[in-house]
Structure 1
Amino acid sequence: MINVLLWVFGALIIVTSAMSAVYSFRSRRTTDNRLRGLYSSRMNISMGLMLIFIALIQMFLFSGSSLRVVVGALFMMLGLFNLFAGMRNHSYFTRQQQ
């Protein structure tokens, strides 16, 4: 069971990392400011999800040392902040396009 969770979280981390890289590349290459903001917000959402998945691996799948729990909690807070900021910016830039 633990191996299945480890593989699932690992796959999710790889997918969200790739999505973050793609959106980062797109946001840097586009010249339209609205699209740049939209791609940057999607990059933040992907990065936030990636950090949340890393935190879940750190906190639940390995033996609990206090340092591991603290690092997992920091990743969780940073991931939630990126997720919130990305969702807020995404709603702003989608309203700008309409």
Structure 2
Amino acid sequence: MIESIQYVLYVGLIITCIFSVFFSIKSRRSVDGKARGLSQAKMNISMGFMLLILAFIQMFIFSGSSIRVVIGALFMVLGAFNIFAGIRNHGLWTRYNPESNQS
């Protein structure tokens, strides 16, 4: 049972890491501002899930020392904040219309 949870967490970690790198490269190569913002928002969401998975690995797979639990909780808070910021920015960039801002 524990081994299957480990495999799922590690596969999830690898997938979210790949998505984070993919969206990071996509946002850096993008010329359009809206596409860059959307890619950065998706990168934030991917990094948030990656940090949450790291927190779960840190807190549930290894033996529980107080330092490990504190670091896992820190990763969890950072991951939740990244997910929240990414979702918020994704919503802002999808509603952004550059033609309406010109005078």
TM-score, normalised by the number of residues in structure 1: 0.96
Unpaired segments ≥5 residues, structure 1? none
Q: Secondary structure at the match of 1:28?
A: helix
2:20 matched residue in structure 1? 20
**1:62 & 1:5 partners in 2: Cα distance?**
12
Trace 1:33-72 onto structure 2 (pairs within 5 A): 33-72=33-72
1:6 paired residue number: 6
Using the TM superposition, give the Cα deviation of residue 63 of structure 1 relative to its aligned residue in structure 2, in angstroms.
1.3
Moved over 2 A (4+): none
Sequence identity, in percent?
54
TM-score (structure 2 length as normaliser) = 0.92
Counterpart residue number, 2:87: 87
2:96 corresponds to: 96
Shift of 1:62: 1.6
Gaps of 5+ in 2: 98-103
Residue identity opposite 2:11 in structure 1: A
Structure index of larger Rg = 2
Residue equivalent to 2:101 = none
Partner of 1:31, secondary structure, is coil
For 1:30 and 1:60, the matched residues in 2 are separated by 39
RMSD (Å), alpha carbons: 0.8
